[in-house]
Structure 1
Amino acid sequence: MRWIIFIFIYFLINFYSFQSLRTITRSNWVLIGYVIVSIAILVNLIYQLSQPNPEGGFTGGRGYAIGFMLAFMAGNLISMLFMFGEDIGRVIVAVFQKVTTPAESFSLPSRRKFISQIAMGIAAIPFASLLYGMYEGRYNFKVLKYTLHFEDLPDSFNGYRVAQISDIHSGSFDNKKKIEYAIDLINEQEADTVLFTGDLVNNLADEMTPWTRTFANIKSKDGVFSVLGNHDYGDYVSWNSDRERLANVQAVKDVHAKMGWNLLLNEHRFIEKNGERIALVGVENWGTGGFKKKGDLDKAGQGLSPGDFKILMSHDPSYWQEKIKTDPNNYQLTLSGHTHGMQFGIEIPGWFKWSPVQYRYENWAGIYEEFGRYINVNRGFGFLAYPGRVGIWPEISVIELRKGPKPA
């Protein structure tokens, strides 16, 4: 039934785009070509989603099928809005003419060619953008730099630089050179430490097999520290037994060790300089809306005091809203990921930032401050489901810690 409803809506939307195209051109080849493409995209999606998928997720052919459908539907929806609006106007004009001249028969005015041209022109923007996001945008890595000031930062850590990456989703990658370039980009930042905030894989530990050596090349003076994200627990796969699922989770944890990363599971470590120290705290995933809740902030911070300077890694930013930002143990800086910025949006740095994901998450991309405490939500390193990024590019965050009050 869901497929029937979807197919009906799909062809209804396409009908309006077809009408728009027919107003612009009378070429039967163009119209036939449009119909063939419409049917091919739908058939491919149904075929890909009907295939066995023991690994779960939406990668490979499934991901591209979803991507092409999103691009095609986005353009057609824009076109439909214009055409539907014109239809309302046509009906109003026809009714008015019938009322004012009863002797005349009721007839709709013809569609206006320039309206169809505008509709198709604007519709081409999201269509082309989503295709670009699939072929270029997903590897369009950006380094975003921030400077944060803390009065309680130990003097020895003034100028300390933290690089953050998140949401690798290694099972989605298909271009080793692009990933190697991104690893080089991380190392070029010469950060004092690199912190990874979860979702190493889409579902299975084996997804990291081709990439373990590549990510093991990430270097920093004080090492790489990491936490788990919701996808690292393998909850989106149908396992034969719970024992099999737990074995996969352990294998994911083992990959961190193979790469030389320090995985923090509701625990903390200290970094010391000149007799002073800061704490790196890592909690397991905790998220609202049905996501896994294994994070235990109290356990992770056991033994720490409010006076200790702390950097907390928590994959899902909803934990910051739920508990971290008001916790009496005073977590000065939290690093999260998870949202991907929905891999789609519009950003004009310093001026404007929008993505549909903001209606789901209060903290979804970049730096936020409440109660004198900060959170950075990394936009993610990889991609999932839609195999691309538009406007919300893959991110490497670099945060410099500075001693002193926040500048006015």
Structure 2
Amino acid sequence: MAFFLILFVLLLLLPDAYVWLSFVRGTSVLWSVLWWLPSGLALAALGAAAAGWFGNGLVRIFFFVLLCVAVPKLLFTVFSLLGRGIGTFVHGAAAAGHVAGIVVAVAACGAFLYGSLYGWKRLVVRQTDIVAADLPEAFDGYRIVQFSDLHVGTFGRDDRFVRALVERIVAAEPDMIVFTGDLVNASAAELDPHLRSLSRLRAPDGVYSVIGNHDYCEYGPHGSPDGAELDFEEVKRRQRELGWDVLLNESRTIRRGTDSLVLLGVENVSRPPFPSRGDLRKAMSGVGAGAFTILLSHDPSHWRREVLPETNVRLTLSGHTHAMQFRLGGFSPCGWVYSEWEGLYREGDRMLFVSSGAGGTAPFRLGAWPRIEVLTLRRGTR
């Protein structure tokens, strides 16, 4: 972790130093101050968070400066240095590198501004068919709406996005609604402005949720040693007040006449540094070997580590990745971290569906727009 922190600070400051030495030094003091100010704000926000002064305002400042200022500066520096390097052999390449750097930096800044101001509000409803040969006949055409990673604290007291999300989910007329974790950022109190809207979520077979790493409320300051655990209990209590069935390493059976499917839900199962409290064996206790099972598990890496090798679970629904809130076509840097990070994956007759989520710890999305997933179960073969 220390290595990545040092690398991040270097990537933040070295482009500033290069441009200042090459183009800004010698101008007015005001220009120098303005040039270094964004990086100073980003470092101050990072230091405050490291000291435990976590807040949504700090997160907003940090990510805005990072995306809309630091990354464009880095891109300009790369093109400028590349032009200077080529310029030792090709006349005029240095000037061309500067111009190309400015164009790329301005384009990146514009794209990231769009993602920061509008992209995170661009709610998309995606329809996906989940086809399985052994799906009980009565569930052919069964509609599940999945939403994930809402992170309501990022919206503050503004309920407009959550209200629009709920309206779109209700309009989809699902048989069941599932939420696959990370309802809050760091505190149960973040839910207060959004409880009225979220309470409107209803479906014939219920609303079910599982716990994500943020729901343990371990990322914010607390007034007592057991503050995070008390906040976590409050997150669960408020979900239950909404009418949601919080699955804590448990199962539920959904029936249609003589047919049935089993819904499993585990607490978060992750790799460090994320907490891991899930117990899949406990959730599956008493579930028949021939049951058609759907598992809610926040982190998709759980699928390959335990679900595939140790169970016969047919469909796993996850979130967590956000697709890093950035996607260009089929590319996202999330693919460097997670082998399954968005959409439907198959291994034989086993399936994993990963939602890129609806929210995020920072109000930014570009390409990986906020999503509501409408999953229709189909009986048959692909």
Q: Distance in 1 between matches of 2:281 and 2:177?
A: 24
Runs of 5+ consecutive residues of structure 2 not aligned to the other structure: none
Shift of residue 298, structure 1, vs aligned partner: 0.8
Show CA shifts across 1:55-108 (max 9, x none).
865522432333223321211121111111122123346xxxxxxxxxxxxxxx
1:96 is aligned to none
1:245 is aligned to 228
Deviates more, 1:242-251 or 1:75-84: 242-251
Shift of residue 110, structure 1, vs aligned partner: 6.5
Deviates more, 1:65-74 or 1:45-54: 45-54
2:248 is aligned to 265
Q: Distance in 1 between matches of 2:340 and 2:66?
A: 29
The structure whose Rg is larger is 1
**Two-structure CA RMSD over aligned residues (Å):** 2.9
Q: Which amino acid in 1 is paired with 2:294?
A: I
2:350 is aligned to 373
Aligned residues: 379
Shift of residue 18, structure 1, vs aligned partner: 6.0
Q: Distance in 1 between matches of 2:50 and 2:94?
A: 47
Show CA shifts across 1:97-129 (max 9, x none).
xxxxxxxxxxxx676544322221122222111
Show CA shifts across 1:297-347 (max 9, x none).
11101111231111110001111110112334x111100001111111213
Q: TM-score, normalised on structure 2?
A: 0.90
- Counterparts of 1:104-123 in structure 2 under 5 Å? 112-123=94-105
1:211 is paired with a residue whose SS is: helix
Q: Which amino acid in 2 is paired with 1:283?
A: V
Q: TM-score, normalised on structure 1?
A: 0.85
Q: Distance in 2 between matches of 1:291 and 1:172?
A: 20
2:316 is aligned to 334
- Counterparts of 1:91-240 in structure 2 under 5 Å? 91-92=88-89, 112-174=94-156, 175-240=158-223
Mapped contact 2:72–2:108 kept (Cα < 8 A): yes
- Counterparts of 1:390-401 in structure 2 under 5 Å? 390-401=366-377
Label 1:33 to 1:369 Cα distance change in 2 as closer, same or farther (>3 A).
farther
Aligned: 1:403 with 2:379: yes
Aligned: 1:90 with 2:67: no
Q: Which amino acid in 2 is paired with 1:148?
A: I
Q: Which amino acid in 2 is paired with 1:340?
A: H
Shift of residue 199, structure 1, vs aligned partner: 0.7
State the identity as a percent: 32
Query: Of the candidates 275, 281, 306, which is equivalent to residue 289 of structure 2?
Result: 306
Query: Of the candidates 327, 333, 342, which is equivalent to residue 356 of structure 1?
Result: 333
Q: Which amino acid in 2 is paired with 1:12?
A: L
Show CA shifts across 1:272-320 (max 9, x none).
1122111111011000133222111111011112311111100011111
- Counterparts of 1:31-70 in structure 2 under 5 Å? 35-51=32-48, 57=54, 59-70=56-67
Runs of 5+ consecutive residues of structure 1 not aligned to the other structure: 23-27, 94-108, 348-352
Label 1:80 to 1:369 Cα distance change in 2 as closer, same or farther (>3 A).
same
Show CA shifts across 1:121-146 (max 9, x none).
12222211111111101111111111
Query: Of the candidates 343, 349, 364, which is equivalent to residue 325 of structure 2?
Result: 343
